[in-house]
Amino acid sequence: MKIIWSPTARSKIIKILEYISDDNPDAALTLIDQFESKVEKLKLNPESGRVLSEIKNDKIREIVVHKNYGIIYEIYPDSIEILTVRHFR
């Protein structure tokens, strides 16, 4: 299964990592690894994320990364599109 990152998701990831790396570059590297690991696991189990109650579409789901971030994605027959990333605060 192919992973596609939307421009919005890419931009948000970059902003998050830039913000964190200003204070703690090692934490930013760790977070990158966590994002990549969670997204790679979607290839094997795309329905592992929770369905978003506010959207009510079982093809749009969210996985949690490091307790503070949600990766929202949509499942297609042959791909997964990462739509956005959000901070829970």
* 64 Cβ neighbours under 8 A, 6+ residues apart: 70, 71
**Per-residue CA distances from 4 to 62, 73, 81, 84 (Å):** 15, 9, 5, 11
47-75 pLDDT tens trace: 999 999 899 899 999 999 988 999 999 99
User: What pLDDT is attached to residue 89?
Assistant: 77
Residues 59, 73: contact at Cβ < 8 Å? no
Question: Over the stretch 7-49, which tens digit does the pLDDT of each residue have?
Answer: 999 999 999 999 999 999 999 999 999 999 999 999 999 999 9
Question: Is the pLDDT higher at 88 or at 74?
Answer: 74
Go through the domains of the chain in sequence order and give each one's CATH number.
Answer: 2-87 (3.30.2310.20)
The token pair that represents 62 in the structure block: 């969210």
SS3 state of residue 73 = strand
Residue-level pLDDT at 69: 96
**Average confidence score pLDDT of the chain:** 95
